[in-house]
Amino acid sequence: MYYGDRPSLSGTEPDLSKSVWTLTGGAKPETVSLSPTETCDVLIIGGGYNGVTAGLYCAEQGVKVILVEANEIGSGASGRNAGQVNPGQFISPNEIKKALGPDYGPRFLKDLGSAPDLVRDLIKTHQIECFADERPIVRCATTDSKMRELEAQARDWQALGADVRMVYGDELQRMNGSTRYKAALMDHRGFTIQPLAYLRGLARAAVAKGLRIACGARVTALDEVGNRWLATVGASKITAGKIILSTNAYSDSLLPGFKEEFMPLGAFTIATRDPIPDEWRRKILPGYIAMWDTHKIPLWFRYDPQNRLQVGSIGFLPWQADRDIWVRRAIKFVFPDAPEFEWGYRWSGIVGHTTNQLPHLVEPRPGIFATIGCNGRGIAPNAYFGKLLGRLALGEAVETPLPILRSSPYPNRRIAMEAYDIGTRVYRNTLLLR
């Protein structure tokens, strides 16, 4: 998938067609060509979940809104992820309260804990065909200490009224078909979707409401002109009252200092060429759940709508041989009796990682709003944050779940990127050799 420089540093990725999601992604939204000069109330930069949701909200309010995307809708992480609609974040509710304090902490937990319901509402309201599956997502403990961590998280969420519980032993094995894990946290708030189909359906709904989408339209300059912004997009100039910057981990140097807010991490998935045989379909994830585990470099598993098995992890696999060796090891690690499958689809994306493992809400320049770093849990949060950014851009009074900050650099970002890149490779390979 990757050639030359590591994509965590270069940002290069394989074409979206390498993803299995393109097979059932549905129709692309209608797009427009920009005139030499354009004006709008809100300009959105980036065509992922965040930007499209913001565009839908702004269009529903009847304002003039344009979304520009350098490639195509869903070409970034929104069209490349595992399709797990998870509530909250990776860290526990107590850790979130400590990080955000008594004002923001409870609000964040309430709003982001219920964010999957926003995705459900969008799917239902706009009749988006995205193979939504309400079976819960499970996170499997790899050690006794991780089991205790999950048990503590379960108690914390239950105290907040969340529909979560622990599963153990035979019950867990009936769900995932593996004897590798002793326990798991099962979260009924979460569910799975076909992520690209969801985004394209959302974009089509936004266009129907009045959003204008321009693809292949990279912003190369942003200049403040009075109390408005002037964006240079190829041969076009767009004057906008407010800007929503929805580029997240794919941010470039458009705004100096903005991309230094987070560390980009790779995430990849490999899928079987064909649906797996029924015999093994009944043995691997027999409960048809989506699962991921608590390894430092986690593994995740799920099926696509045609019963192709997907296996993924964090990091980058730059060579064909490396990829195939890794996926065989991963399958044997979790399902030791599984046969050799033929793998036909390989894709990856970039995740924005922040220092406190929480999203950041920022206004890097007056009138430019953004959220950064969902830390691998982007589908549900960006349904929430996309609407939130739309409301902020329209000047609505909003109680935010995070303080609005100026951008601040990720400490020792370059060194951290290098270290994480090396660490993921070493850890992943030594883990799967055991």
Asked if residue 318 has pLDDT above 80, the reply is no
DSSP-derived secondary structure for 83-140: -EE--S-SS-HHHHHHHHHHHHHHHHHHHHHTHHHHHHHHHHHTT--S--B-SPEEEE
What pLDDT, on a 0 to 100 scale, did the predictor assign at position 413? Answer: 80
Give the integer Cα–Cα distance in Å for 46 and 234: 15
Asked if residue 4 has pLDDT above 80, the reply is no
- 126 CB neighbour count, 10 Å cutoff: 15
Give which of 142, 116, 173, 178 is closest to 297, Cα–Cα: 142
Mean pLDDT for the stretch of residues 44-58: 97
| Average pLDDT of every residue of the chain | 90
Give the integer Cα–Cα distance in Å for 6 and 28: 30
What are the residues whose beta carbons fall under 8 Å from the beta carbon of 104, sequence distance 6 or more? 400, 401, 402, 403
- 13 CB neighbour count, 10 Å cutoff: 22
| Paired residues of 225 in beta bridges | 228
pTM for this prediction: 0.93
Mean pLDDT for the stretch of residues 249-267: 82
Ranking 248-262, 272-286, 304-318 by mean pLDDT, the lowest is: 248-262
Tokens of residue 137, six digits: 């997502």
Tokens of residue 238, six digits: 């767009």
Confidence class for position 9, pLDDT limits 50, 70, 90: very low
pLDDT tens by residue, 59-84: 999 999 999 999 999 998 899 999 99
Asked if residue 16 has pLDDT above 90, the reply is no
Ranking 262-271, 272-281, 388-397 by mean pLDDT, the lowest is: 262-271
Give which of 348, 417, 351, 410 is closest to 378, Cα–Cα: 351
